[in-house]
Structure 1
Amino acid sequence: MRRIVLSLALLTVMALPACTTASGGGEPQTASAASPEAASAEPAKAAPAPIASLVRQVEIPYEQFTLDNGLRVIVHEDRKAPVVAVSVWYNVGSKDEPAGKTGFAHLFEHLMFNGSENSPGDYFEPLAEIGATDYNGTTWFDRTNYFETVPRPALDRILFLESDRMGHLLGAVTQEKLTNQIGVVQNEKRQGDNEPFGLVEYAQLEALFPKGHPYNHSTIGSMADLDKASLADVKAWFRERYGPNNSVLVIAGDVSAAEARPLVEKYFGDIPRGPVNRPAEADVPTLPAPKTQLMHDRVANTRLYRNWAVPGLLSPDMVTLDVAAGVLGGLASSRLDNELVRKDQSAVRVSASLQPFHRISMFEITVDVKPGVDADGVARRLDQILADYIANGPTEDEVQRFVTNDVAGRIRGLESVGGFGGKAVALAEGALYANDPEYYRKQLLAYARTTPAEVKAAMQKWLTRPVYALRVDPGEREAYEEAAGSRGTAASQRPRYYWQPQPGEKPMAPLPFVADDAAGAGGGAAAAQPAKAPARPLPPLGTIENLDFPDVERARLSNGIPIVYARRQAVPVVRIAVEFDAGVAADPANALGTQVLTLRLLEEGTTSRNSIQIAEEQERLGADVSPSASLDRTAIQLTALTPNLGPSLDLLSDVIRNPAFDPGEVDRIRAQQLAQISQELTQPSGLASRTLPVALYGPGSPYGRSPSGNGDPAVVARLTRDDLIRFHQTWIRPDNATIFVVGDLPLAEIVPQLEARFGNWTAPAVPKGSKDFAAAPAAPKPRIILVDRPQSPQSLIAAGYVLPVRGTDDPFLLRAANEVLGGDFLSRINMDLRETKGWSYGSGSAVSLREHQVPFVINAPVQADKTGPAVKAIMDDIGAFTTRQGVTATELQRVINGNTRELAGQFETSDDVLGALRSNALYRRPDNYWETIAERYRGLTAAQLDQAARQMIDPKKLVWVVVGDATKVGPQLNGLGLPVEVVKPAAAPTSAATPAAQ
């Protein structure tokens, strides 16, 4: 299913005549339009670049050395930005845990964020001080890692910090910290378990792997084992496994090996070797017979699973099985998509994927059955398709499309030096698992050489073994394992936000909640007193220069469409956003869901291409066309490999300008949208997002609707093809468009290509759309709306009210003040609910930017038995902050340091720059906005932030929404001084819509 929202030869194109640029300060300048000659000079059609040529040019040069204590160090030099990524990978994961100690690897990852002997207190404090970005910690079956991207002058400091928690940690680990982090981890477990299908992973691991197998239990662990973790246990766990000789350190970015080596020796060289942790061996198990299982969950539709345990990362069969999964259910044009979603229309979503691990991998197929369709019949059809596929294998074209798509994604990901998937990760994984930092390259070459015969042989070898077939039906959940105590819990999920960010805006402000891998879990933090006097001085921080944002250039097509451009040359990729002044707010109040249905249909057929052809063409080109919408803007984005830019633009133009809105496709996508609405009505975040905006803005406001845009099921069921055409003509049109571009080509080579595809686009006769924000939202009615969601181990607390502020007002002071209150990991709300009380995995507040009426919002998932006390705690935190306990000197400095020193890392990639171009336009900012922001932060005072908070933030105006089990939560909310309204979620659509008259 396609989503709606992962040095090469350049094309030769005609140059643009003289084009002025706008860079730095001042109002942006507009370039002269392209000449008629350029306008008519369409680039020659080009075939996609051969896969082999793309793969050959993916290279991450590096140097490596090993310290006397066994620490392996890899250095990659990349001078594109003044930042350095540091990534430490420990050769220990949950597969190394003995019976009775599940979850220990991940629990210790949390503890390693709680300070060390020479850097006591929360590790997020020094990370914020140096302006770290992309920082996190994760645990999975095979490894634990910590990573951050820092300004180059902070390299000494971050190497000191990483070395201190490697070699000088245990003196700072206390029983108080352990108790707190057990609570946080249990809340992390609850948060994931609380999601629809959140309990499936436990069943899968138990079924696929026999008891005692290293992969039999989840990384998050069991409540019971976490309950009984002792201080002696966790300290022994560290001593046995976290020595330098069990670690890989990767440093990538604005540094050479010659510069890095003396620093590494200085900070890591004195750490003694530890015992050698030999990762647990693990055979690939085969079930003795097919196993079927039925589960029930509070879900919207039946989901079918097919699972096998298959070979791990180092097996030659891993690549061929990954290709097999991609062709079957990973591509937009996959076998399962074409057969079950497009042809049979018996499923609304399908997938097939390979999750590779060190010793084993897991091959998984999922099918979401269309509501009202016989699930048994779909299961039989699924097994027929699978049997035919295994017997006959994929075609050459299918293999090539998957490989091209996969390689293109890897090329885009390698623009980052660090983070979750940048160059440091590629080098570290190869070194840790294969003893070869260049293993990524060998894998890419293996993908490029893969043949259909090899894929078929791998499937016949591994997928003809007995299958584990799981079915999850809607219904009441089975009994849930709770913690013995009342400390807290959640699972391996990144926190979900019910306020969708605008382009360039971070969700809920910076909030660097420690997120996790798909089966892993994230790190923690807790303030604590020093365990002992510092023995090693903290190294000084070098001077961090102001941001040098890329120069912004402008041009205009012959029909008047503006182009906003910035050049980034790190990778051969061009990113384009054709943006329209529409967004979810453009939906008519009486026709919610129209825009999303319109956008979803853009890729489902044009006047010259059907949906399969569009999907296949993207895959052959390694391109990604993605319609998306925020509350204020609609965009159709293209990410293209530079050698394939021409044909990728042809596809983008066709999708935007010539949608067919075929009646059959309208009915099919309508059914999928209705299924998504049903899913929203089972999710805590979906229920909150359908309740709070209406309560804050009113149902008639353009902002009084869920930011998902999925809309009203009754409306979606009756929308006609004519309705969608009308919406497209009203909003998706040239006189409502701006084209934003970031890429490695000069603007003079970009404009003629855009002119050839969009320059002759004329506006339709219907009037252009407009949104009405004239009416102010009604005065808030403070109350608690309790949305009853039975069997919820956790409650989602959401709250907010509308501020007398517009996003175009640039509420700089208020947003800075909110960082102290709730907009950062170290903020008061998060530290109170997570680190002091242990009731939440992550909570916060935001001044959430909108073009027009800006809301102040709160997001706090908490354990169910602490819901009422958590609401009271948030009220108290806000009340104290806005009265007697204003911003401290330490908090002020943290805001200043974090927001000035992180700028280089904040705009490391072309995608980051594209987001900034779009947000600057949305909020009417000058092109040099991000180059001036540092001085504005440096000029802040505590008094300014206190005044801004006290003028604008008022806890008495908050409207609260609590999504949870009313029988458990309701009594806790009494006595808070607010009326409580208990509501039941709207009934989900139970069957596909009747086709509307066309």
Structure 2
Amino acid sequence: MAFLQRAWFIVLFFVLTLFLVLWVGFFGKNIKGGVSMLEEIKTWGDVHISKYKLDNGLTVLLAVEKKSPVFAYYTYFNVGSRHEEEGKTGLAHFFEHLLFKESKNLKEGEFDRLMEENGAQTNASTWVDWTNYYQVLPVDAEKIELVVRLEAERLQNMQINEKQVTSEMGVVQNERRFRVDNDIDGTMNEALNRLAYEKHPYGRPIIGWMEDITKYNVQDCLAFYNTYYAPNNATIVIAGNIDPRKTMTLIQKYYGEIPASQIPEKEIPIEPSQTKEKRKKISRSDIEAEKALYAYHATAYDHPDTPAIELLSEILFNGEGARLYKQMIIEEEIASEVNAWFGHLKDPALFQISVSMRKRQPIQKAHNRIFAEFKKVQKEGVTQQELDRAKNRFEMSYYGSLGTVGGKARALGQYDVVFGDYKKAVKLMDRYQSVTLEDIQRVSQKYFVASNRSIVEARPKR
């Protein structure tokens, strides 16, 4: 009897030991001290996704795609123009410039040189909710380590000084003149956001107000860098033919000792409901035909109504089969451009429409047709054929955007940073395929009314 008990004990011990080895080996619960796997999924096409967190708060998403000859390395920081203070607008965008400057272990220009020598595509972008830095390189163990090392360097060791700040202030001022002040589309977009938003920081320009850009100083830049450029405010997404265990070992090696920061809980003001239509008119000598931008206050991207709103955009505006595109451009030939877009934002966004008229065609014709079409949908709805077409177009666009490792990394990073769950990107199409005809009619009645509308018109100066 004692012999049997010992035998069963040995068998049980062996089974438990084997289970533990398999758990650690295959699921990476503790790949190395300071790294924990949070979850993984294997159902996104041929891509295997796993999520990790370091002890200092750094979030890492690995999207393994074995067939890819390149890998993408995207670093998202949970800071955008919405996090800036009044009088310091544009700082999030300003750091796009500063992070390519000198650091403790890299001379100015050395980051770009090393990236170019290794065949990298590299860039950065700033949005209202996030800032992103990315590289795409051929798959190679040394190149992966190079990017990990250089991005960890930029996260903790930037040497921000008066010379750099002064130099880049001039660059950004010129960028603003080119993209906003001297560009009618930039001017109108900035005017529309300022007109539509009374309190929310989405009404401020990402590039910043010119009067703020001219006042940047080293102290403000250092405070911004030390606060928001921290591991517990970042998500790294690496997509491609990578080895998860080796990659996470490198991440821990270069990022593991970087201290976390105390991220302030910034109180974002709630935008009050709009109660009447707003209009602004612009007269410019650098345009030949009348133009208009329209904005309707809509929803945050994770709101249940968002898919129906976006599909309504496809039905009315986007593509040759869309109602207003067909009517205004193909049939009546009164406009040269008609399109609409809806931002994927953390807080309620604007549904925006852009129209450019042909020469000598008044913008009032666009107003009449757009407003009439919304009223028609509110009264009669849309057809099942139109809804199916919109869903198919959206699905093609969605999967088309995921055709590269960079596209996959971008989607996973944005959803994890902005909405707190990368799986929302994976399951996105489920939300859109479930939209009904009743949903389309309901959102048209709820959001696309005159009292919820802002318009910026531009006319040639005579």
TM-score, L = length of structure 1: 0.40
Work out whether 1:368 is the aligned partner of 2:387. no
> Is 1:229 equivalent to 2:216 in the alignment?
yes
Q: Which residue of 1 aligns with 2:457?
A: 471
Quick one: which of 102, 111, 114 aligns to 1:115? Answer: 102
- Cα distance in 2 for partners of 1:370, 1:333 equals 20
In structure 1, the residue matched to 2:153 is 164
2:455 maps to a residue whose letter is: A
1:462 positional shift: 1.6
Deviation readout 1:806-832 (Å, 9 max, x if unpaired): xxxxxxxxxxxxxxxxxxxxxxxxxxx
TM-superposed CA distance for 1:466, in Å, is: 2.5
For the residue of structure 1 that corresponds to 2:201, the secondary structure is coil
Write the letter of the residue equivalent to 2:384.
E
1:461 equivalent to 2:450? Answer: no
Within a 5 Å distance, the mapping from 1:583-622 to structure 2 comes to: none
Partner of 1:452: 437
Partner in structure 1 of residue 421 of structure 2? 436
Deviation of 1:250 after TM superposition, in Å, equals 0.7
- Find out whether 1:182 has 2:169 as its counterpart: yes
| Pairing partner for 1:215 from 195, 202, 205 | 202
Q: What residue identity is the alignment partner of 2:435?
A: T
Looking at structure 1, the residues matched to 364 and 71 of structure 2 have their Cα atoms a distance apart, in angstroms, of: 53
Distance 2:107 2:304 in 1: 46
AA aligned opposite 2:411? A
Which of 83, 86, 92 does residue 96 from structure 1 map onto?
Answer: 83
CA contact (8 A) 1:285 1:309 kept: no
Distance 1:113 1:279 in 2: 27
Q: Secondary structure at the match of 1:138?
A: strand
Residues in 2 aligned to 1:435 and 1:374: alpha-carbon distance in whole angstroms = 45
Task: Work out the CA distance in 2 between the residues paired with 1:159 and 1:121.
Answer: 19
The alpha-carbon deviation at position 277 of structure 1 amounts to 4.5
1:105 matched to 2:76: no
Q: Which runs of 5+ in 1 are unaligned?
A: 1-55, 477-998
Are the counterparts in 1 of residues 200 and 271 from structure 2 also a CA contact under 8 Å?
no
Maintained 8 Å contact 1:306/1:366: yes
Does the aligned pair in 2 maintain the 1:60–1:423 contact within 8 Å?
Answer: no
Q: Does the residue aligned with 2:186 lie in a helix, a strand or coil?
A: coil
- Tell me the CA shift for residue 387 of structure 1: 1.6
1:795-810 mapped onto 2 (5 Å cutoff) = none
Per-residue Cα deviation, 1:196-218 (whole angstroms, up to 9, x for no partner): 333112211111111x4211211
> Residue in 1 aligned with 2:342?
354
Instruction: Indicate conservation of the 8 Å contact 1:281/1:359, yes or no.
Output: no
**Structure 2: which 5+ runs fail to align?**
1-42
Q: What are the equivalent positions in structure 2 for 1:212-611 lying under 5 Å apart?
A: 212-278=199-265, 281-297=268-284, 298-418=286-406, 422-464=407-449, 465-475=451-461
Task: From the superposition, tell whether residues 462 and 334 of structure 1 become closer, same or farther in structure 2 (CA, over 3 Å).
Answer: same
CA drift at 1:360: 2.1
For residues 404 and 61 of structure 1, the distance between their equivalents in structure 2, rounded to whole angstroms, comes to 26
C-alpha displacement of 1:407: 1.4
Task: Tell whether the 8 Å contact from 1:294 to 1:470 is kept in structure 2 after alignment.
Answer: yes
Distance (whole Å) between structure 1 residues aligned to residue 319 and residue 271 of structure 2: 27
Contact 2:290 2:362 (8 Å CA) reproduced: no
- Structure 1 position 327, deviation (Å): 1.1
Q: Shift of residue 57 of structure 1?
A: 6.8
Q: Does 1:63 align with 2:50?
A: yes
Cα 1:434–1:377 change in 2 (3 A) is closer
Which SS does the other structure have where 1:203 is aligned? helix
Matches for 1:182-201 after TM superposition, within 5 Å = 182-193=169-180, 194-201=182-189
- Contact conserved, 2:301 with 2:344, CA < 8 A, in 1? yes
* 1:734-813 matched pairs, under 5 angstroms: none
Structure 1 residues 385, 82: closer, same or farther in 2, change over 3 A? closer
Match of residue 85, structure 1, among 44, 68, 72 = 72
Letter in 2 for 1:165: R
What is the rounded CA distance, in whole Å, between the counterparts of 1:357 and 1:108 in structure 2? 21
Q: Which has the larger radius of gyration?
A: 1
Kept in 2, the 8 Å contact 1:91–1:277? The answer is no
Q: Aligned partners of 2:237 and 2:384: how far apart in 1?
A: 38
Question: What is the rounded CA distance, in whole Å, between the counterparts of 2:410 and 2:250 in structure 1?
Answer: 21
**Distance 1:429-1:374 versus aligned 2 partners, 3 A rule:** closer
Q: d(CA) in 1 for partners of 2:69 and 2:102? A: 27
Q: TM-score, normalization: structure 2?
A: 0.86
Opposite residue 300 of structure 1, the aligned amino acid is: E
Aligned pairs, number: 414
What is the alpha-carbon distance in structure 2 between the residues aligned to residue 162 and residue 148 of structure 1? 10
Deviations 1:232-272 (A, max 9, x none): 01101111211100110111112122121100000100100
- Please show how residues 859-898 of structure 1 align to structure 2 within 5 Å: none
**Residue 297 of structure 2 contacts residue 453 of structure 2 at CA under 8 Å; is this kept in 1?**
no
Q: 8 Å contact 1:201–1:218 — kept in the other structure?
A: no
Residues 834-983 of structure 1: pairs in structure 2 closer than 5 A: none
Output the CA distance in 2 between the equivalents of 1:375 and 1:413: 34
Verify the 8 A CA contact 2:402 2:408 in the aligned structure 1: yes
Evaluate the alpha carbon distance shift between residue 333 and residue 58 of structure 1 in structure 2; reply closer, same or farther with a 3 A threshold.
Answer: farther
Runs of 4+, deviation exceeding 3 Å: 56-60, 277-285
Taking a change above 3 Å as real, the CA distance of residues 276 and 383 of structure 1, as seen in their structure-2 partners, is same
Contact 1:308 1:363 in 2 (8 A): yes
Secondary structure of the 1:405 match is helix
After the TM superposition, which residues 699-710 of structure 1 pair with which residues of structure 2 at under 5 Å, given as runs? none
- Shift in alpha-carbon separation, 1:347–1:316, aligned structure 2, 3 A: same
- 1:336 & 1:232 partners in 2: Cα distance? 51
Q: How far is 1:58 from its partner?
A: 4.9
Which of the two has greater helix per residue?
Answer: 2
**1:360-402 Cα shifts (integer Å, max 9, x gaps):** 2211122222222343344223321222123333222112112
Shift in Å, 1:432: 0.9
- The verdict on how the C-alpha distance between 1:127 and 1:281 changes in structure 2, with shifts beyond 3 A counting, is same
Whole-Å separation in 1 of the counterparts to 2:454 and 2:224: 34
Aligned to 1:192, the other structure's residue is in SS state: helix
Q: 1:91·1:279 contact (CA, 8 Å) conserved in 2? A: no
Q: Secondary structure at the match of 2:147?
A: helix
Between the aligned residues of both structures, percent identity stands at 27
Distance 1:369 1:176 in 2: 46
> Match for 1:348: what amino acid?
S
The one-letter code matched in structure 1 to 2:320 is: A
Q: CA deviation at 1:82?
A: 3.3
Helix, strand or coil at the partner of 1:356: coil
Which position in structure 2 is the counterpart of 1:750? none
Partner of 2:22: none
The one-letter code of the counterpart of 1:436 is: D
Distance 1:277 1:248, change over 3 A: farther
AA paired with 1:241? Answer: Y
Q: Determine if contact 2:196/2:278 at 8 Å carries over to the other structure.
A: no
Q: Contact between 2:90 and 2:207, CA under 8 Å: does it hold in 1?
A: yes
| Distance in 2 separating the partners of 1:187 and 1:390 | 45
One-letter amino acid matched to 1:453: E
Distance (Å, rounded) in 2 between the aligned partners of 1:57 and 1:129: 33
SS at match of 1:447: helix
Q: How far off is 1:59 after superposition?
A: 6.6
